[in-house]
């Protein structure tokens, strides 16, 4: 598709125009002569050159939306894991090659410039990255949307590996400035905490409640433009930073309490200091709850402000805003919107409740019961006395309805209540989200089914019409076009480039799987990508890996349910076979791991140590003779991930069935032509359906089998005793073989597997090792493997985030595209 061009001034997108703008930014924005410009100056100048293009489209987008009777999607998420902006924006604008040309003329290496960008790591993993993919798709589909979230000063920590252990370093992404955001000091909101409530009568004699808070902070908007792919729609990501309210400081200063004022400032700014580095909720941390309320309140106030600018009546709010809750992190929004409508805007309860339910939709991302957010009532009521009252009132009305439907069923009432009273009292955020939303969805078919049958069963029985499935997707722009230019060019040579917007068209590649010359090219691209990753691995770890070996990769957050340690058990089994029989015939394999562990998650960190310890032993053992390599790739983030997905032959998606809601890494690998070895979990089920069972390596228990095994009592010892290879593997770990004879180091891990393993590794070990044997055989038939690889890419269209967003737009948000013109 043709890039849109503009002429004149900084928006001039001709080669000459871009070059001129770039030079101007080196001089006028960075204040440098070209001869003394640093790498960062050059990066900044390129970033501003590109940002000028974005701003031009952004203004057009705002202009053309103003005054239209349209509906805006508000995506509320505590995390947005955007990744580097520069390259992505060049692709979406269609000026990638032009800018490469300019860099060359000016005499510097553009890769070095790209490398200079610090990515905003404002998320933990899949959930935050999904939010970022959805912003890309919303803009690419020309749907008006705002992403609302938190501008953490410190994002997800940087990971270093020392002596095999994870070490966390604070992320300082703002250190050299952030050219992609615009501070909006004039767009502010006040957000209050604590205090008490007080009843009063308004001028019409109606009963009202006033909240007299203990303290108030200020939220300041920081805006990042989000441009769609080859369209003019430029949407907004609005992140809130917490600051102290100046007048407080001033007053305090006047009465002489200077230190009190400084404390207030520090307290206020703390709220958006740091991202919680857990990919499941940390129960009971007050600051986390304050973060959630802070950004939700700012965002809702902002929507009401925007809505009122257009002169709309509040009871029609839901026709103009569709708010999506990305998990329960922003679920307080239900109570906050009620407070704003009833207390601040003077609406009556019923119409306000009607507006609220019609406005919100709720996406659930997890089935793990320990991951369902709940807050102690005492903590909650202390911070939000008014919201507590509102939640009690919502609950009272809701439970009345439950009792009407199921008279006498008090067990059901207790199960469904917004307040958990089964031992301590807690506010159940998922229940609040369900009751306050008109739509509830899971993120893969299996997950949505299990939600209905299990976690949210009562809610499904009561309001089945609210439930639907929206299988996750990922953006093919970042994860294919940007990450894998070689494959993109090869595909374009065969079927053009329209698949980038309509990935279903990748199916046109299917016949190429039968073309030996195409297969040859396909392998050539994969080999190049593997060489590229091998180079990065050498730079970052010092380990040499052979690009001719099979690259078997598992990258994702470290979590016991994701079972990185099952992968390790299999590696040790292979090693054990080689040790027992040095001429054991093994197709050479490089096992690559990557991912961060929550700093307080002991077992996850021990698994990282185990991977590195096994790597140390295996990589150095002359008996192995190049057949096995084990690498832990440090500091997995969006920037590093681009080297990884395109280089994989095999993708490990081996979670215990029923535990991974969807997974999205599985999609990124398969799109890039990796074959999957996986369980029937999350979106694996649908990936297998799409690519064909014959092109997918399936193993392990099903979710149903996992449940019944759990119900009947899982006894790991039975599997252990029946499998001599498993015994040898466990013995090698337990005996200290990988830990210089230290039998204590991995004992917690071994004990968990042997005696109380909720993730059932031993139950799946046998079938996993068997299927890995089939993978080994399959890889030897290179022609057939390549066929399967091509078919994986060709059949992954469904997993584009564009498809997912179209479904959300049609079924939940009821929004339509609004094309934007430049002239």
- Positions annotated as catalytic residues are 365, 556-557, 562, 664, 668
| Cα distances (angstroms) measured from residue 99 to each of 28, 37, 54, 178, 490 | 20, 18, 15, 20, 22
Angle at 343 between CA 338 and CA 349, to 5 degrees: 50
Phi, then psi, of 416 in degrees rounded to 5:
-90, -15
Site for ligand 73E (CB under 6 A): which residue of 19, 60, 339, 365?
365
- CB neighbours (10 Å) of residue 356? 26
Residue nearer to ligand 73E on the CB measure, 302 or 660: 660
Question: Given 3-state DSSP classes, what are the helix, strand and coil percentages for the chain, each rounded to the nearest 5?
Answer: 55, 15, 30
Residue nearer to ligand 73E on the CB measure, 98 or 279: 279
Contact status, residue 676 vs residue 651, Cβ threshold 8 Å: yes
- CB neighbours (10 Å) of residue 814? 12
Residue nearer to ligand 73E on the CB measure, 145 or 443: 443
The stretch near ligand 73E (CB under 6 A) out of 126-134, 343-351, 458-466, 527-535 is 126-134
Check binding of 124 to ligand 73E (CB under 6 A): yes
Give the integer Cα–Cα distance in Å for 800 and 45.
32
Site for ligand 73E (CB under 6 A): which residue of 84, 120, 219, 281?
281
First-last CA distance in the chain: 18
Residue nearer to ligand 73E on the CB measure, 17 or 658: 658
Site for ligand 73E in 441-470 (CB under 6 A): 443
What does the per-residue mask of binding to ligand 73E show for 664-693, with x meaning CB under 6 A?
Answer: x-----------------x-----------
* Chain mean position to CA 433: 20
Residue nearer to ligand 73E on the CB measure, 298 or 661: 661
Phi, then psi, of 739 in degrees rounded to 5:
-135, 40
* Chain mean position to CA 554: 17
Decide: residue 18, CB within 10 A, 0-12 exposed, 13-18 middle, 19+ buried: buried
Check binding of 291 to ligand 73E (CB under 6 A): no
Give the integer Cα–Cα distance in Å for 192 and 189.
10
The stretch near ligand 73E (CB under 6 A) out of 11-19, 175-183, 279-287, 789-797 is 279-287
Check binding of 135 to ligand 73E (CB under 6 A): no
Per DSSP, the three-state class of 151 is coil
Check binding of 330 to ligand 73E (CB under 6 A): no
CB neighbour list of residue 635: distance below 8 Å, 6 or more residues apart: 158, 159, 160, 596
CB of 728 to ligand 73E, least distance (A): 33
Residue nearer to ligand 73E on the CB measure, 430 or 752: 430
Site for ligand 73E (CB under 6 A): which residue of 17, 120, 121, 126?
126
What does the per-residue mask of binding to ligand 73E show for 647-666, with x meaning CB under 6 A?
Answer: -------------xxxxx--
What does the per-residue mask of binding to ligand 73E show for 424-443, with x meaning CB under 6 A?
Answer: -------------------x
Site for ligand 73E (CB under 6 A): which residue of 18, 91, 122, 130?
130
Site for ligand 73E (CB under 6 A): which residue of 280, 315, 492, 776?
280
The stretch near ligand 73E (CB under 6 A) out of 156-164, 278-286, 532-540, 622-630 is 278-286
Residue 359's nearest CA partner among 399, 402, 307, 397 is: 307
Give the integer Cα–Cα distance in Å for 199 and 222.
36
Give the integer Cα–Cα distance in Å for 212 and 764.
57
Site for ligand 73E (CB under 6 A): which residue of 268, 472, 640, 793?
472
The stretch near ligand 73E (CB under 6 A) out of 121-129, 206-214, 234-242, 491-499 is 121-129
CB of 681 to ligand 73E, least distance (A): 9
The stretch near ligand 73E (CB under 6 A) out of 120-128, 164-172, 498-506, 597-605 is 120-128
Q: Is 42 left (phi over 0), alpha (psi -120 to 50) or beta?
A: alpha
The stretch near ligand 73E (CB under 6 A) out of 211-219, 222-230, 275-283, 627-635 is 275-283
Contact status, residue 813 vs residue 71, Cβ threshold 8 Å: yes
Site for ligand 73E (CB under 6 A): which residue of 127, 509, 513, 555?
127
CB of 124 to ligand 73E, least distance (A): 5
Check binding of 366 to ligand 73E (CB under 6 A): yes
CB of 472 to ligand 73E, least distance (A): 5
CB of 704 to ligand 73E, least distance (A): 19
Contact status, residue 759 vs residue 561, Cβ threshold 8 Å: yes
Burial code (b: 16+ CB inside 10 Å, e: under 16) for 269-301 equals eebbebbbbbbbbeeeeeebbbbbbbbbbbbbb
What does the per-residue mask of binding to ligand 73E show for 601-640, with x meaning CB under 6 A?
Answer: ----------------------------------------
Q: Report the relative pairing of strands 196-201 and 207-212 from DSSP bridges.
A: antiparallel
Radius of gyration of the chain (CA): 27
Check binding of 537 to ligand 73E (CB under 6 A): no
Residue labelled with tokens 């200290």? 736
CB of 371 to ligand 73E, least distance (A): 6
Secondary element (H or E) of residue 608 = helix 602-620
CB of 365 to ligand 73E, least distance (A): 3
Site for ligand 73E (CB under 6 A): which residue of 117, 249, 279, 649?
279
- How many residues bind ligand 73E (CB under 6 A)? The answer is 20
CB of 73 to ligand 73E, least distance (A): 17
CB of 322 to ligand 73E, least distance (A): 19
Please give the sequence-ordered ranges of beta strands (E in DSSP) within 157-258, or none if there are none.
158-162, 165-169, 182-193, 196-201, 207-212, 215-227, 234-243
CB of 281 to ligand 73E, least distance (A): 5
Give the integer Cα–Cα distance in Å for 538 and 527.
16
- CB neighbours (10 Å) of residue 208? 13
CB of 291 to ligand 73E, least distance (A): 12
CB of 214 to ligand 73E, least distance (A): 28
CB neighbour list of residue 419: distance below 8 Å, 6 or more residues apart: 377, 391, 392, 395, 425, 426, 427, 428
Residue nearer to ligand 73E on the CB measure, 147 or 682: 682
Give the integer Cα–Cα distance in Å for 30 and 26.
5
Residue nearer to ligand 73E on the CB measure, 103 or 674: 674
CB of 354 to ligand 73E, least distance (A): 29
Q: Which residues lie near ligand 73E (CB under 6 A)?
A: 124, 126-127, 130, 278-281, 327, 365-366, 371, 443, 472, 660-664, 682
């Amino acid at each position: 598709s043709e890039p849109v061009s503009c002429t004149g001034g900084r928006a001039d997108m001709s080669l000459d125009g871009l070059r001129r703008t770039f030079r101007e930014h080196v001089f006028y924005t960075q204040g440098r002569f070209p001869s003394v410009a640093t790498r960062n100056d050059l990066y900044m100048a390129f970033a501003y050159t590109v940002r000028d293009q974005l701003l031009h489209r952004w203004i057009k987008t705002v202009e053309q939306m103003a005054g239209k009777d349209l509906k805006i999607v508000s995506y509320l998420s505590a995390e947005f894991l955007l990744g580097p902006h520069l390259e992505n924006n060049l692709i979406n604008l269609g000026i990638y090659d032009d800018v490469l040309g300019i860099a060359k003329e000016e005499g510097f290496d553009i890769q070095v410039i790209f490398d200079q960008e610090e990515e905003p790591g404002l998320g933990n993993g899949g959930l935050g990255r999904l939010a970022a993919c959805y912003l890309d798709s919303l803009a690419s589909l020309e749907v008006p949307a705002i992403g609302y979230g938190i501008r953490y000063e410190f994002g997800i920590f940087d990971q270093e590996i020392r002596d095999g252990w994870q070490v966390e370093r604070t992320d300082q992404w703002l250190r050299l400035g952030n050219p992609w955001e615009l501070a909006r000091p004039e767009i502010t909101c006040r957000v209050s905490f604590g205090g008490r409530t007080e009843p009063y009568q308004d001028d019409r004699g109606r009963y009202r409640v006033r909240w007299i808070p203990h303290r108030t902070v200020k939220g300041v908007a920081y805006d990042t433009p989000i441009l769609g792919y080859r369209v003019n729609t430029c949407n907004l990501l609005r992140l809130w930073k917490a600051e102290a309210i100046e007048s407080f400081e001033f007053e305090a200063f006047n009465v002489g309490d200077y230190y009190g004022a400084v404390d207030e400032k520090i307290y206020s700014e703390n709220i958006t200091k740091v991202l919680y580095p857990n990919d499941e909720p940390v129960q009971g941390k007050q600051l986390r709850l304050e973060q959630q309320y802070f950004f939700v309140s700012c965002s809702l106030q902002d929507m009401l402000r925007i809505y009122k600018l257009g002169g709309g009546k509040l009871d029609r709010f839901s026709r103009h805003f569709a708010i999506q809750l990305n998990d329960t992190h922003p679920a307080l929004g239900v109570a906050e919107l009620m407070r704003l409508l009833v207390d601040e805007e003077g609406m009556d309860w019923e119409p306000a409740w009607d507006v609220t339910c019609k406005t919100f939709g709720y996406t659930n991302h997890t089935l793990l019961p320990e991951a369902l957010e709940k807050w102690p009532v005492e903590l909650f009521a202390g911070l939000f006395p008014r919201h507590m009252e509102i939640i009690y009132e919502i609950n009272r009305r809701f439970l009345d309805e439950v009792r009407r439907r199921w008279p006498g069923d008090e067990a059901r009432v207790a199960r469904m209540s917004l307040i958990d009273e089964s031992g301590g009292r807690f506010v159940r955020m998922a229940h609040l989200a369900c009751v306050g939303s008109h739509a509830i969805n899971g993120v893969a078919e299996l997950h949505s089914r299990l939600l209905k049958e299990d976690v949210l069963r009562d809610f499904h029985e009561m309001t089945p019409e609210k439930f639907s499935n929206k299988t996750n997707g990922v953006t093919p722009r970042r994860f294919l076009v940007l990450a894998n230019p070689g494959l993109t060019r090869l595909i374009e040579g065969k079927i053009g480039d329209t698949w980038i917007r309509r990935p279903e068209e990748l199916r046109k590649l299917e016949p190429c799987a039968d073309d030996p010359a195409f297969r040859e090219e396909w392998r050539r691209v994969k080999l190049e990508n593997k060489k590229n990753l091998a180079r990065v691995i050498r730079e970052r770890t010092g380990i040499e890996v052979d690009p001719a070996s099979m690259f078997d990769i598992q990258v994702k957050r470290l979590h016991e349910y994701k079972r990185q340690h099952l992968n390790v058990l299999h590696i040790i089994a292979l090693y054990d076979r080689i040790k027992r029989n040095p001429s054991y015939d093994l197709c050479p394999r490089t096992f690559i791991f990557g991912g961060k562990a929550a700093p307080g998650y002991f077992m996850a960190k021990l698994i990282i140590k185990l991977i590195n310890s096994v790597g140390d032993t295996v990589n150095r053992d002359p008996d192995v003779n190049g057949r096995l390599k084990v690498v832990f790739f440090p500091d997995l983030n969006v920037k590093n991930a681009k080297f990884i997905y395109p280089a994989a032959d095999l993708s490990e998606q081996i979670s215990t069935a029923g535990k991974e809601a969807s997974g999205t890494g599985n999609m990124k690998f398969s799109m890039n032509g990796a074959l999957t070895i996986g369980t029937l979990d999350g979106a694996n089920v649908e990936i297998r359906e799409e690519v064909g069972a014959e092109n997918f390596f399936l193993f392990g228990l099903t979710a149903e089998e996992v449940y019944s095994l759990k119900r009947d009592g899982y006894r790991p010892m039975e599997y252990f005793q029946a499998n001599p290879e498993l015994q040898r593997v466990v013995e090698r770990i337990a005996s200290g073989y990988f830990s210089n004879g230290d039998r204590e180091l991995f004992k917690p891990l071994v004990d968990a597997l042997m005696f109380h393993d909720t993730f059932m590794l031993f139950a799946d070990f046998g079938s996993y090792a068997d299927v890995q044997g089939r993978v080994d055989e399959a890889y030897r038939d290179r022609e057939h493997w390549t066929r399967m690889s091509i078919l994986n890419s060709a059949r992954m269209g469904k997993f584009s985030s564009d498809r997912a967003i179209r479904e959300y737009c049609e079924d939940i948000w009821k929004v339509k595209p609004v094309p934007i013109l430049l002239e």
